[in-house]
Amino acid sequence: MRVGVVGASGYAGAELLRLMSSHPELDVVLATGESSSGRRIGDMVPALAAVYPDMVFAPTSSVLVEQLDVVFLALPHGESQRYVPALLQSGVQVVDLGADYRLKDPQSYLHWYGQAHSSPELLGKSVYGLVERHRRELPGAQLIAAPGCYPTAASLALGPLLDHALVEPSRIVVNALSGVSGAGRATSDRLHFSRLASNAEAYGISFHRHTPEIEQEVSAQLLFTPHLVPVARGMLVSAYARSLDPNLNTEVALEVLRTTYASDPFVVVVEEPPTMKDPVGSNLCFVSVRVDQRTGWVIAMSSLDNLIKGAAGQAIQAWNVASGRDEVLGLPLSGVTP
């Protein structure tokens, strides 16, 4: 398959290039990076020098003229809308790692992103690329909206509990910690080493753009608060929900998770609370749960690598399923330790 990676000079785009270099059926023939156009991939991302020794970043507009089978878009919000309609019209399959086609209600984009959607007619045609919850919808999909990292971690932890009506679908609190690579490659004052080191910071309080995505996916109302912590990669979610069953205990809740993910190779159900580092370097998501019968609260927990299962790996996993290939093809099932 002839593949184009748009936004390949960013963190998620570079991770796509890395993973695709070992995928036997994805042949990267175009990698774009607007500000890096003309530079060799290996000069911009030295870690990729051996697998892309001569390829250079092309202008983003090249994606509309190159002969491609599938395009992976790793662009800031709002940018994918400039290319997706034309790509689909020309018969190219699209996997969008951005937020442009995740939400089904066009008004949500106006409310949460501050701008109207330019191709709202495509929102109903996109398939949400969280394989573990949308596996049956993905085969044959031409437009895949790869989920965000926070919604992935939160949905995989909370989803089964809400699906089985074990917890209330309101008054849910989701707290999340993320490594700084989730903020992208562009620098800002809050990402300076002197501010970030030995620090932690909540942001997007009560109005983070991933809130409607999580709510849409798990059909619940929640308060979401992300936190930036001084690590390069990783994500850890702790979600709190009220139990609907006074007899619910931890073992029963864990068994619901085990049963739900029994056939999912990338979700690992653990008894002990997962740590941020456990999945780093892999496409795995670790999930667990605790029930506090004294207070009636259920704590759902998860961890993942925000650049792999939270972005590039997830996109490739969804494409594998959509195209009828082995789900694990080209994706790491083990993390890096220590």
Least Cα distance to 289 among 183, 132, 164 occurs for 164
Q: How far apart, in whole angstroms, are the C-alpha atoms of residue 298 and residue 44?
A: 45
- Cα separation of the two ends of the chain: 35
Q: How far apart, in whole angstroms, are the C-alpha atoms of residue 179 and residue 209?
A: 17
Handedness of CA 317, 333, 31, 188 (dihedral sign): positive
Structure tokens belonging to residue 3: 């593949």
CB-based contact 126:140 (threshold 8 Å): no
Q: 3-class DSSP state for residue 41?
A: helix
Other Cβ atoms within 10 Å of 207 Cβ, number: 9
Structure tokens belonging to residue 37: 């156009």
Is residue 285 annotated as a catalytic residue, yes or no?
A: no
H-state helical runs in the chain:
11-20, 41-44, 84-89, 106-113, 131-134, 149-163, 193-196, 211-218, 250-260, 313-322
DSSP state of 167: B
Q: How far apart, in whole angstroms, are the C-alpha atoms of residue 61 and residue 75?
A: 13
C-alpha dist (Å) from residue 268 to 7, 146, 254, 263, 273:
31, 20, 11, 10, 12
Given 5, 26, 95, 149, the catalytic residue: 149
Other Cβ atoms within 10 Å of 76 Cβ, number: 13
Phi-psi category of 281—alpha, beta or left, where left has phi over 0 and alpha has psi -120 to 50? left
Residues marked as catalytic: 149
